[in-house]
Structure 1
Amino acid sequence: MDKFAEILVFLSVVEEGSFSAAGRKLLRTPSSVSKIIARLESRLAVRLFDRIAGTIRLTQEGHRFHEHGRKVVDAMTEAENSVTPNELEMTGVLHIHTSLTFAKYQLAPLLPLLLKRHPGLRIEFIIGTDRGDFLKRDIDVAIHSGSPTELSLVGKPLFLRRWIIAAAPSYLKRYGSPAAPEELHRHHCLNFTVRQHWNSWIFIENGVPKTVNIQGLVGADQGELLRTLALVGLGIVRLAEFHIATDIAEGRLVQLLADYPPAAQDMMYVLYPRGRAQAPRVRAFLQFLNEHFAA
């Protein structure tokens, strides 16, 4: 067996989580998969997996080999696709890490267009508000606010996310509307339990930034849940314009403090590991994003 084939077996074991599952995927017996991994470890003179009570776990060396092995396979895939005349023949699984809100309100409506263009492509979402571990979770692309600080990641701006403050008519009927930012301290505000800086609401008043630190009775780590809490009248919320614009247009929520525009506007970035953009599935997705979210 050549080295490239060994890498494919190794990657299958990592992705499937066991020798037996990788064997089923590759139409091999678990023992043959185990022998290939043992031969690979012998040739490299390192242990790639720790075997513990019938389970396997990547060693530090295994994580490094997985990172570079994936690049080898991506490069080979790109080489093959470079001579494929029909772009529709693109196949593979694209792993996208982003928040539930962005996936639901921004990406989901566009997926039919992407999959119509690339019918052989599969999409798998990994939902979370943090950026996630690209290597451990096999993330191809992440979409989050803020440029990356990790040297291993590339970040390209997508669009500026504008925040809006709003509440349900039922809440305003009971507690009234704040006339100025400082009056928010007398109201029930709904706050994030992650990224605490999102709970510092900054307004521009007479050209000067003014910060109101929100201390709410109810919080959540997902913007979609905060939206639901606001809709049932539990408090005032600050969420992205793309998230609640329809609720405001249809009267389910009422925009507040419109005369005090929020200073906080986050740039949304698409993030990916260096070198991963060479993979055809990633390159196609980045091009698609650029068409629909030109910053």
Structure 2
Amino acid sequence: MAMQRYLLYISYIGKPFRGAQRQVKAGTPRPDDPSTVQGRLEMGLKLLNPCNEPAIFLSSRTDSGVHALSSTCHVDLYRKSGLIYDPQTVTICLNKYFLKEDVPIRVLKTYLVPNDFHCRHKATLRTYLYKLILAQSDNYKKPSLFHCPIEELDRSLFHIGQNFNIEKMKEAAKLIEGHHDFRTFMSQHVGHADRETRRVLEKIEIQESCKFGYSNYSYPSFIEPCEYHFLNIHIQSRGFLYKQVRRTVATLVAVAQGKVSLRDIKYMLEVPAVSSWLPQIKLVEAHGLYLSEVRYSPEDVALFRESIS
């Protein structure tokens, strides 16, 4: 029997899951864990009837409620016949299982990769997207009652009001970019106290546009259309600390709202400590966050194979 490693590009909606990483401890046989993305992938792979217990390795461990537009994972599979599963067969099998079980995970692509390839260690860049929608209205109650686009429910963070300085937000983003000790921006977690907290935050890009909702539907005559300001916040780094992205976005939002100053941001970076986190900065909700890309070097990508031929 020959072992073959497979790299899967996946997307998912995080709301029904306790997180990407399995919560049920592994054993022999490997117990099912339907409450996590990793657990569901392993359950679907069992339908291929491999000789081994499928054990997924994730490139990024997103928290409960966080979505993924494009993430990656790898798995080793042994087949009784000694042959290799065609990558397309793996994709089709998993997507049929997810569709049948009404599970919001999709496999975008499956590749054959060298047996020493590791999806997490080989990643050169990760990009997260945070979606923020500002409802521009003189009547702050109307947008929350009538105008929140239904397609963005639990998909974006809403801010209702007019006191939001996007230019200050962009200034704060430039301060946070670069090489810093981000201990202030890391939530406390068991086992993370001694973790190295210096990181290079490659880029924070804030894209903005004004619309009257995403859907092209006609408003009822008794409702006045509400203008929305859409902000897509893209944050790039090779790796992130625990809840660093949500804390970074929360800091940018607090600056835009006038709750903290640029001087406060400098202090948080220059004095990296748990005590430097400002209590007026409230952690943003997980449902606005998406893992949008995991990038590999061109040399590694050149080794990905789409078929067994």
Question: TM-score scaled by structure 2?
Answer: 0.23
- Higher-Rg structure is 1
